[in-house]
Structure 1
């Protein structure tokens, strides 16, 4: 029994690394693409569209919906915990350091949206589909960064994490505005009350999961019932979690929860979502049709070109007017390499494509997201490897 626990703890630590999370996500994406384009693609559709859950609570959802509404809430909770920790006690608690990723994220949202809207103008569904290239996939981008950029300063990882979380929060806000067809005021009151109770228990140093788990589940159900995308519940709970430890504590609640939930996020939540979101046709004919579809073309240009232009341009402007400063040990060339990772719009972009479009248009948009994300991650990998080598040479020369 004593041997099993250390082994389980070591496996959990292994799953917490971005490299492993990125590899599992890639594997799940590959399985989805192979399965959805195989002779047994009907089984993929049947599993993805199979409904389960209590209908009395309006929770009779398809397996695909459970993945994007439920499991992604865990992912956003973990990401929110890390962001709050960095904002309160980490490198981002310095105002100028914190401003840079926020400004960069705004630029990385506005420019891709303008490109997608401009290229796709007049196409059916563009009034909501312009939001598809707005988001950056945190897990995928950090996975690529971990694999290719071991020699880069840690400040760049924090910059990318903060940028990705901010623009994903922006994307969730857009989801709430663009895709909320009705608003349940009673559910909103319940959600706010549960969040207030969660914050109160954190303030009173209550630690028992017997209270927190029901509150978290209840908050998720209430937010879902509001008509707002349920992943916002994960973000809200994370931002209310205490990140400073007391003298008698071994670690703060935020760090403890992050260590416990990150393996589940990396090994289950994000890969299962990818499995049921990435299954799109990728035949030669399907890929060829992307370049004839102005909506899909706008999505691809928004992710591959718009993200880099928006992130680098906004960052440079913020530093130029002295409102922000470059990450510790990094410069403009490093930001260009990391900005290319902003074009990996996998998770939330697929989610918005699902919400904004239907049928063949949704399939083409998701294929465009996959192709653009693959292109952006490949270009970013090349740039990051080069920047890592440059930093290593500089370190060797200093030594």
Structure 2
């Protein structure tokens, strides 16, 4: 009889290091404010699109700007989706690289759980959507990836509204899952939603991208050098037929993370993230949400017909059921495979709440919906309503679970805040860091 493998001493949802916990806290505060702006922009667009002045909203979204000679005479809605979201994905690329190079996730034992949860949280919704739309009208299956995304800003805005004292380890898990989710989404966009590929501009994009990489590796911060190269990379990727947001991720991956060996200054990735995250969370994502969320609820046969459409049903089921099943199931499989215990004070009810919260798909889901069905099409309108409805249901269910557990979270947070020394670092982190490695 084979021996039972020993239980892992590394707990799931355990406390991270104090520098990482502190940094994550700063990131989450920025994203929470951005989430509130995102919600406000989405509500404004939805209300405007269902008033007698809806035509003015459509006219604004269809207003063109940009040089025609460079094939960049895009509508404002296209500039928001192709241009501003590139800033969002640039920050996501910086965050993901930093997490795996210098963050707690450089430890494979910590990285495996959010990565597995992100993968599971994309596979399950895609399978559910495909099952619902298997016998539907032509073109419906192209939206299989719509319910696979998690919107971290929207999710954190919900946490802010319900005032839950979610422990840092759980918030970090949610943030990391969403960042990995964003990277997987951009891969899906590049592979499955590129209708035509122009090799010449794609190869040409390697020139400014390479120059950008050389400069940032030399720690050059001069905006007048870097911004033109980034803009040229974006424009050439856009001209190649690949969605231009891919350029944002590629540029983010070029930026070095680690500090210089000859000084204490922060790494360039941290510097850029500090500068660009407020623009991403406070401007880029809310403006995109404003132009993407304005859908008429009375159009295309009325709301009843829309809610009966398999596209809408598949998206709602994917976000609410698929995301929850995928994230929760993948986390459980990791726990069974590694025989790791849950972190102190964490239960599977907490994982269920986070899994439901991951079903809040908005920004990237709206983007994929436009790419899958065509902006302004009937199916795209149905997809947008499905995204809004599914995200709302997921948020309400997550609120119920997390509010029930909130008194428990308050006790955990109070315990972490006890015994603060003059250095401002809770003793629990200092004791943890002083333990010898296993």
* TM-score, length of structure 2 as denominator length: 0.82
- 1:107 Cα deviation from its structure 2 partner: 0.7
Matches within 5 A, 1:332-347: 332-347=348-363
Of stretches 92-101 and 300-309 in structure 1, the one that deviates more from structure 2 is 92-101
Whole-Å Cα distance in 2 between the matches of residues 197 and 327 of structure 1? 45
- 1:396 Cα deviation from its structure 2 partner: 5.8
Whole-Å Cα distance in 2 between the matches of residues 66 and 120 of structure 1? 31
Alignment CA distance shift 1:132-1:324 (3 Å): farther
Whole-Å Cα distance in 2 between the matches of residues 224 and 120 of structure 1? 31
Whole-Å Cα distance in 2 between the matches of residues 45 and 181 of structure 1? 26
Whole-Å Cα distance in 1 between the matches of residues 372 and 85 of structure 2? 18
Of stretches 197-206 and 225-234 in structure 1, the one that deviates more from structure 2 is 197-206
- When the two structures are aligned, how many residues end up with a matched partner? 387
Cα offsets for 1:177-214 (capped at 9, x unmatched): 22212111122222223322222222222222221111
- 1:333 Cα deviation from its structure 2 partner: 2.4
Are 2:105 and 1:92 equivalent residues in the alignment?
yes
2:272 to 251, 257, 269: 257
* SS of residue in 2 equivalent to 1:229: coil
- Tell me what 2:333 maps to: 317
Partners of 1:128 and 1:178 within 8 A in 2: no
Whole-Å Cα distance in 1 between the matches of residues 140 and 340 of structure 2? 34
Are 2:403 and 1:382 equivalent residues in the alignment?
no
- Tell me what 2:367 maps to: 351
Of stretches 57-66 and 373-382 in structure 1, the one that deviates more from structure 2 is 373-382
Alignment CA distance shift 1:157-1:108 (3 Å): same
- Tell me what 1:64 maps to: 77
Cα offsets for 1:67-101 (capped at 9, x unmatched): 00100111111222222222222221211111111
Whole-Å Cα distance in 1 between the matches of residues 196 and 382 of structure 2? 28
- Tell me what 1:391 maps to: 409
- 1:25 Cα deviation from its structure 2 partner: 0.7
- 1:326 Cα deviation from its structure 2 partner: 5.3
Matches within 5 A, 1:241-320: 241-246=255-260, 247-283=262-298, 286-320=302-336
Structure 1: 5+ residue stretches without partners: 1-12
Cα offsets for 1:257-307 (capped at 9, x unmatched): 122112211221111101110001224973322332112101100001100
Whole-Å Cα distance in 2 between the matches of residues 14 and 105 of structure 1? 19
* TM-score, length of structure 1 as denominator length: 0.90
Alignment CA distance shift 1:59-1:225 (3 Å): same
- Tell me what 1:170 maps to: 184
Cα offsets for 1:333-370 (capped at 9, x unmatched): 22211111211110111111112124222111111111
Of stretches 122-131 and 278-287 in structure 1, the one that deviates more from structure 2 is 278-287
Partners of 1:14 and 1:20 within 8 A in 2: no
Whole-Å Cα distance in 2 between the matches of residues 48 and 121 of structure 1? 33
Partners of 1:86 and 1:92 within 8 A in 2: yes
Partners of 1:129 and 1:353 within 8 A in 2: yes
